[in-house]
Amino acid sequence: MSRTKVEFDYVIVGAGSAGCVLASRLTEDPSIEVCLVEAGPSDGSITIRMPAALTFPIESDVYNWKFESEPEAELHGRSIGQARGRCLGGSSSINGMVFVRGSHQDYDGWRDFGIEGWDFKDCLPYFRKMETFEGGRDPLRGGSGPISVVRSKAEHPLYKSFLEAGQEFGLRDAGDYNSGGQEGVHITQATIRDGVRCSTSLAYLKPAASRRNLTVMTDCLVERIDFEGKVAAGVTLSRRGGKMQIRAAREVILSAGTVGSPHLLMLSGVGDREHLRSHGISPLANLPGVGADLQDHVVAPLRFQSTKGVSIRRQLNMVGRVKLGLEWLLFKSGLGATNFFEVGAFFKSSEDIAYFNMQHEFLPFLADFQSGKVTISDGFQYFVSQMRPYSRGRISLKSADPTAKPAIRFNYLTDVRDITEMVAGIRKTLEMVEQPAWARYRGPAVGTPGIKTADIDIAGWLRTVANTEHHPTSTCRMGLDDLAVTDGAGRVHGIERLRIVDGSILPRVPSANINGPIIMVAEKIAASMLPGQVQ
């Protein structure tokens, strides 16, 4: 095998939601040389760029890592597929494009982990810095950032019934849920620019691509972090049958995601020492929290047939798809320019909850997302998600072979409080579907409990359908306790010149779709690394 060796100031592993941000911001200083390394290919596919085609990259073996969990004990031993982006832009290139910041209380609660500077007031400047909001700049929203955030049109009758039914049930109209109160029904905001998916690759990496101090390498599998003592000196990667060592004069930064970053740490000797030894890996640093504290939003679909031929499915037949494609190709408009998740809600499962703990996402057709395969039929569908789960999982090694995927166990619903909250959220959703606004279009339920179903039976049904929102976090979380892996700037405890910046360092999963919060975290840490930046 051929071997080559090069050196940069920073080596960033993973060109995803965080890695593209870091590469762009750091290379704004022309004296800093950055190498951004991505395991997957470029993101030039039309199925990535067209918002309505979001099911195609999710189904793809090229753009999606297609992780599978270990059998989940409380889900009848089912393995749950976990979509993680494997291309430029990472998961921002294959996600649902729903933009949510999360509650102020989410970030204020991070102080419980002993880290400073992550209260919402500290994060707000970076939420504003990252975005250009369609509604314009104000004290809470950004007007000139890389990520375009637009309001969905929500003109279809099923969207209007969703909004009206929620308000008839008693929820407020939340309006701009990313600046005012988040609780209530809302028209969704999405990361779409001029009808095209606004990934971090489009927003951050493309404008920086011509900089001479930025090198982007695709189709490279990083096999390990190279250390000199307890100092990260670079990485070893495989590419096109050869091995390459890339040295980092200042830092190695892992942005490989909630699954990839702890996996690479463990392959490199950083993690729970007994676990590493069981796979023949010599421990360099004993950090038991590597891979621990895995969190994710569990979701249950409530499905109903629709009447009067109102479902958008009717517009997605053969002729409709041709029309959709042509309109998008020619004008970047029409159904091709939507992610279909155009309305949603946040609400409490019970009044003794401190703040909203449930989310609704909604589709004006029936979609089955099981194990990365998607089928569409007439109807409408509520997705009910729990925002702050109590159950915790873990990422661990199956093998010391860097080409082998790690073991992922979410332990969904193993904490009874999660079942209690989900059952209550499902019951409230069933009550919303009974509101007058749905009378015209509501048909029979499809594999969904009825309003009179007992709680114990709803819980049993939940175990058969529960799935993932694809929002994993916290496997290398920030903090000062024994399970913390990183400090408040993402630096790995006990290791020099090694930093992690991605969803794995979030102390808790936010009450939000996680792409926006991860981009904010990357903006904030990038600013702390550059002199003279807002901090």
Which residues form the catalytic set? 471
* Residue 377, SS3 per DSSP: strand
The 8-class DSSP code of residue 389 comes to -
Task: Report the number of secondary-structure helices (H) and strands (E) in the chain.
Answer: 14, 27
3-class DSSP state for residue 357? coil
Q: Are 474 and 110 in contact (CB under 8 A)?
A: no
E strand segments, 330-406: 343-347, 358-363, 366-368, 375-377, 380-386, 394-396
Q: Which two tokens stand for residue 326?
A: 């042509």
- Contact at 8 Å (CB) between 177 and 324? no
Write the DSSP symbol of residue 437.
G
Would you say 111 and 119 are in contact if contact means Cβ atoms under 8 Å apart? yes
Which of 527, 523, 518, 503 minimizes the C-alpha distance to 99? Answer: 518
Compute the distance between CA of residue 239 and CA of residue 467 in angstroms, rounded to an integer.
35
CA distances from 189 to 67, 151, 186, 272, 360 (A): 28, 4, 9, 41, 14
For residues 370-397, b (16+ Cβ closer than 10 Å) or e, as one string? eebeeebebbbbbbbbbbbbebbbbbbb
- Angle subtended at Cα 465 by Cα 463 and Cα 467, rounded to the nearest 5 degrees: 95
HEC string of 464-516?
Answer: HHCEECCCCECCCCECCCCCCCECCCCEECCCECEEECCHHHCCCCCCCCCHH
Rounded to whole angstroms, the Cα distance separating 184 from 150 reads: 19
d(CA 348, CA 103): 13
Quick check: helix, strand or coil at residue 123?
helix
Q: Encoding tokens for residue 212?
A: 């001479």
Cβ burial, residue 359 (10 Å; 0-12/13-18/19+): buried
Helices in 303-440 by DSSP H: which ranges?
318-331, 416-433
